[in-house]
A and B are shown apart, each in its own frame.
Chain A
């Protein structure tokens, strides 16, 4: 299947600093990428949807100034957690939707996730 690469897989940062997580579609062009947050033993919570070349659409309750999303190309989206606090510690997962027609062309693939620990 298609590959979505996420980096870094683990990051520890100090409270008050910012951290950037990258999401790349390696073998397909992704017109749309999604960012999720997952707490232990919980399901995926959609944070925002980003379309290449336009502003991200944030879900209700997600602070757009805190979670900056950039989708500068068809293969790369970034999530920057600004002024991170311990409560931002979580598992962040991106997914990418392949552009194209039909179900297979619209299938959504996930990255491996990034563990963020804010100390």
Chain B
């Protein structure tokens, strides 16, 4: 079993839809959870980070962490064509040594 599982997609939605992106993980030592957005042929851009369980909201984006289920989510409200990108989840332990990434989910938002 891989440490971090993420559905590669592509996930196609119409503009304005609510998008749900998810990752599951197996390492209970993970404490910090991040979501990165990567446009084609560009480096990843940090979107959100959370510590331990709970929710965090930033504009149209909400990150959720459920450590009991080892499951994290990123919700995008009122999705826009400019949100079309690959979304990578990443996580690390309390030592914050290295990030473990999911494979990324490609999101396509059509006008």
Interfacial residues, chain A to chain B (CB-CB below 8 A): 1, 4, 6, 34, 41-44, 46, 49, 91, 93, 95, 97, 103, 106-113, 115
Q: CB-nearest residue of chain B relative to A111?
A: B43
- Which B32-78 residues have a C-beta within 8 angstroms of A? 32, 34, 36, 41-46, 49, 51
A43 lies within 8 A of B49 (CB)? no
Evaluate whether A110 and B44 lie within 8 angstroms (CB atoms) in the complex, with A103-B32, A103-B49 already known. yes
A43 lies within 8 A of B103 (CB)? yes
Q: How far is the CA of A53 from the CA of B107 in the complex (A)?
A: 40
Q: CB-nearest residue of chain B relative to A113?
A: B43
Q: How far is the CA of A46 from the CA of B3 in the complex (A)?
A: 14
Specify which of A44, A46, A93, A107 lies most central, judged by the most chain B CB atoms within 10 Å of its CB: A44
22 A-B pairs whose Cβ atoms sit less than 8 Å apart in the complex: A6-B43, A34-B98, A41-B8, A43-B88, A43-B103, A44-B101, A91-B41, A93-B44, A103-B32, A103-B49, A106-B32, A106-B96, A107-B46, A108-B34, A110-B44, A110-B45, A110-B46, A112-B42, A112-B43, A113-B41, A113-B42, A115-B41
Q: Closest approach, in angstroms, between the C-beta of B38 and any C-beta of chain A?
A: 9
Q: How far is the CA of A69 from the CA of B42 in the complex (A)?
A: 22
Q: How far is the CA of A115 from the CA of B43 in the complex (A)?
A: 11
- Say if the beta carbon of B17 comes within 8 Å of chain A: no
Q: CB-nearest residue of chain A relative to B8?
A: A41
Q: How far is the CA of A113 from the CA of B34 in the complex (A)?
A: 19
Q: How far is the CA of A106 from the CA of B99 in the complex (A)?
A: 12
B96 lies within 8 A of A97 (CB)? yes
A1 lies within 8 A of B46 (CB)? yes
Evaluate whether A42 and B41 lie within 8 angstroms (CB atoms) in the complex, with A34-B98, A109-B46 already known. no
Contacts of A93 in B (CB 8 A): 43-44
Contacts of A103 in B (CB 8 A): 32, 49, 51
Q: How far is the CA of A112 from the CA of B96 in the complex (A)?
A: 22
